[in-house]
Amino acid sequence: MGFNAMTIKNCPFTPEDINAIKNNLLNNIATPSHALTKVTTGATIEAMPGAVIASPSLPGNTFSQDYFFYWVRDGAIVINEIAVLYKTATDPQEKNKFKEILLCYLNFVKKVQSQPELNSIDILGEPKFNVDGTLWTGVWSRPQNDGAAYQALTLTHIANIFLQEGNKQFVIDNIYNPQSFASILKANLEYTAANWQANTIGPWEELFGLHFSVQIVQRRALLEGAALATQLGDTGATSYYQTQAQHIGNALNMHWNDSLGYFSETLAAQDQRGGGINTSVLIALLYGQIKQANDDFALTSEEVISTAYYARYAFEGLYQINTRNKALGIGGSLVGRYCSDVYDGNHSIYGNSWFLCTNMLAAFYYGLAQQLLEGNSISVSFLVKQFLQQVAPAIDIAIGDKLSKASPCFKALIETLVTQGDDILQVIKACSVTYKDGSALHMSEQIDRASGKQISAQDLSWSYATLLTAVRLRAETVKLLAAA
């Protein structure tokens, strides 16, 4: 085919930019050499090394919320990216820094999970903890069962890295002990396997029910946990986890809404806020991808592609900032959580675009291109055609065609998908801010739907982690393109 990575422009985020993003994220992680202290009225809490704060934002004159907590889900997502950075680091000093964070995280999780329940739910269903690792007992939405699944994924990732380095005994002693249900990873896997059918609060902490975004991550966690259990001789657990993952896969298909053309987020709540089209589905599809041929939820499947189409379509004309940028020929679309969202960080009047949601839309385009380059194909149905007209209107593809490496338009499609992701990241970069101290590329939780200015919690860890995810997927895709 004569593919050449030089046909792809440079990533909107330079290596220097990525270093700035890493530093902004590392500022939110407590280590022995980087102390984090939460100071509020009547209380001062020293963060335990390994704690990842969602954001340093506290209630004040311009912001009414407290984000200075450790959320299980957010923390696991962040540390998973740190594990990638550790594995790929070539500078010994940098590698040691990332390893220290991983080891601190293991200790933090051990403390968090060793506490007795105080909120009438299992400790593994708790959504967040104080930064010193103690249980937070305030009124909140509980349980949040995606936390245990994300935590299991991250712990499995760390365990696999240490196994590859020849540290099997360390893994058994500190992460997964086949003989102990109390070992931190096995505890999360057992909880997930036993509770995936239970109603739970979704990732936006608003709607109670059975959520696609929760279950698809639970499925991947159990499948990867089963593979690790096999390596460690825990064959009984392997069978149990695999069986439950298969059941979850069957249950996920119930979320497909054929009349609307997308996976609904919450069963029996299509008409409720966020229960229908929701970017949480798209985000979790990326976090929940498994390397399995012909998987129902591969990014190349008709249902997933159509869900991505509607997730973007829902916001393109909803936000004034998108309409303005389109008229000016600036970048791609910013997206939020769901159309009827009203949470703006303070007054809950109207929702906005979110950095993390938009970053993961870019990641979807890169991930889709990657799976095509790896050999997956796309059967062009009406729903797929609709998506292709959205992202690649110049490419003539007919219903009934099959898109694969053998297709004449394949190269153009891959390049277009990468460009779509790049256009989004270009807008994200333009929305980032530089602080008075000169530090750059800071990202909050939300971007105002009209002005494009940052609002809500500052320096959101999940915003930075998703940016790193998107850029990493882009790099992997361009590497495959160069080798094709």
In a domain, 439, yes or no: yes
Alpha-carbon torsion, ordered 296, 299, 302, 307, to 10 deg: 110
Q: Which residues pair with 379 in a beta bridge?
A: 402
In this structure, is residue 138 part of a structural domain?
no
- Chain centroid to CA 379: 27
Calculate the average pLDDT of the chain: 95
Q: Is the peptide bond before 143 cis (omega within 30 degrees of 0)?
A: yes
Which pLDDT does position 1 carry in this prediction? Answer: 42
Whether residue 1 lies inside any domain: the answer is no
Distance CA 422, CA 424 (A): 5
Question: Has residue 41 got a pLDDT over 90?
Answer: no
Distance, CA of 424 to CA of 402 (rounded, Å) = 27
The answer to whether position 475 is within a domain reads yes
Mean pLDDT on 106-124: 95
User: Is 69 part of a structural domain of the chain?
Assistant: no
Quote the CA–CA distance of 247 and 253 in Å, as a whole number.
10
Of 395, 440, 455, 426, nearest to 325 by C-alpha is 426
Q: Domain range spanning residue 384?
A: 148-483
Q: What is the largest CA-CA distance in the chain?
A: 67
Packing angle between helix 72-88 and helix 146-164, nearest 10 degrees? 20
Q: Is 383 within 8 Å of 332 (Cβ atoms)? A: no
CB 284 within 8 A of CB 254: no
Task: Give the count of domains, the chain.
Answer: 1
CATH number of the domain where residue 445 is located? 1.50.10.10
Q: Would residue 357 count as lying in a domain? A: yes
| Residue 292: CB atoms within 10 Å | 11
pLDDT, tens digit (0-9, with 9 covering 90-100), for 355-409: 999 999 999 999 999 999 999 999 999 999 999 999 999 998 999 999 999 999 9
End-to-end Cα separation, the chain, in angstroms: 7
Q: Residue 33: inside a domain, yes or no?
A: no
Structure tokens at 430: 């333009």
In a domain, 68, yes or no: no
pTM of the model: 0.97
Amino acid residing at 51: A
- Dihedral, 33, 445, 289, 223 alpha carbons, nearest 10: 50
Of 200, 102, 97, 112, nearest in space to 155 by CA: 102
Question: pLDDT tens digits for 379-393?
Answer: 999 999 999 999 999
Q: What is the pLDDT of residues 456-472, one digit of tens each?
A: 999 999 999 999 999 99
Q: What is the pLDDT of residue 2?
A: 46
- Nearest to 187, CA basis, from 198, 178, 197, 200: 178
pLDDT of residue 61: 80
Statement: residue 324 has pLDDT above 50 = yes
Question: How many Cα atoms occupy the beta-carbon half-sphere of 9 within 13 Å?
Answer: 13
State how far the Cα of 9 lies from the Cα of 13, in Å rounded to an integer: 11
Other beta carbons within 10 Å of 63: 17
The predicted model gives 434-455 an average pLDDT of: 97
pLDDT, one tens digit per residue, over 269-301 is 887 889 999 999 999 999 999 988 789 999 999
Handedness of CA 424, 427, 464, 200 (dihedral sign): negative
pLDDT attached to residue 5: 47
